[in-house]
Structures are given as C-alpha cells and as structure tokens.
C-alpha cells in the first residue's frame, strides 16, 4: 500500500463582524477547496501548510493553536492518503494565485463557503473551524 500525506490550511480573515474563508478552485478537477499540498522532506505539518498557502495564494498566515484536523481516505486502489488541515488567519489580504494549479480564488463568508466546497470532508472542516472560532471569541 502506498501512503501519501498532504497538509494545508483553512485561511480566514475578519471582515467587520463576519468571518470569511479563502477558497481556491483547483485547475485540475475544478473543485472548490483550501490550499494544501504534499509534505516535502524535512518539513513538519505546519511548515507544509505555511508553504502551500504561500505558494498557492501568496498569503502569509498565522496558524491558530489547537486546531488540527486529519482525514484519511483511499483516492485510488492501494493508495491511502492522509490530509491534515490547520486554521490560519491571513496576515495580508492581497491574494496572488498560483496559475499552474489554481484557476480562481474567492473570499466567502462561512455559510457561503460551506455551500461552495465540493467534498463532504471540507464541509465538516468548515463547521469545525466555525465552532473553534466561536469558542475562541467567547473566551476573549
């Protein structure tokens, strides 16, 4: 069995009293999701997430503590894939998409992002991030 591992981040920003997520539309496959990619040798999960967000969107992010979500699935026979996502606050808002892999980017409020993403795992991830951000706001 072949094992693959990718890491990425749900990138968010506060826009007034709303929270918006950055979605990317993948050039290959045409689905809306989040920046992510394969772990390179010597990287930890967070380093991969930071690098992939920067490569695909041009954004720098601050990774939030205590938010790490992991899913595993079988994209092909004899291939097990693990995807680890973190939550990152955008430190800048100027998105510069990586044209080779990303056909579009958009900021969307959480409910719109939930409707736009293609895969159930991403929908679940959005709800977990929403819960995390609500709890964080209540504690501050």
Encoded tokens for 95:
């998105």
At 28, the pLDDT band (50, 70, 90 cuts) reads confident
Please give the pLDDT value at position 17. 85
Pairwise CA distance, residues 116 & 112, whole Å = 6
pLDDT digits (tens, 9 = 90+) for 66-118: 999 999 999 899 999 999 999 999 998 889 989 888 999 999 999 999 999 99
Mean pLDDT, the chain, whole residue set: 94
- Per DSSP, 97 falls in state -
pLDDT digits (tens, 9 = 90+) for 58-72: 999 999 989 999 999
Using a cut of 0.85, tell me whether the model's pTM lies above it: yes
Burial of residue 55 (CB within 10 Å: 0-12, 13-18, 19+) is: middle
The answer to whether 33 and 104 are in contact (CB under 8 A) is no
- 3-state class of 35 per DSSP? coil
- Given the DSSP bridges, would you call strands 102-109 and 79-90 parallel, antiparallel or unpaired? unpaired
Pairwise CA distance, residues 65 & 78, whole Å = 34
pLDDT surpassing 80 at residue 140 = no
């Amino acid at each position: 069995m072949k094992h693959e591992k990718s890491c990425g981040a749900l990138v968010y920003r506060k826009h007034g009293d709303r929270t918006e997520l950055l979605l990317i539309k993948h050039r290959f496959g045409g689905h809306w999701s989040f920046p992510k990619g394969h772990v390179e040798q010597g990287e930890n999960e967070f380093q991969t997430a930071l690098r992939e967000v920067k490569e695909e969107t041009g954004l720098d992010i601050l990774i939030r503590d205590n938010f790490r979500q992991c899913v595993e699935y079988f994209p092909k026979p004899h291939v097990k894939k693990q995807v680890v996502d973190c939550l990152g606050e955008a430190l800048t808002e100027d998105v510069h998409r990586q044209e080779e892999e990303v056909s579009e980017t958009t900021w969307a409020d959480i409910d719109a992002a939930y409707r736009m993403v293609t895969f159930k795992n991403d929908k679940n991830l959005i709800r977990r991030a929403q819960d995390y951000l609500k709890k964080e706001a209540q504690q501050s």
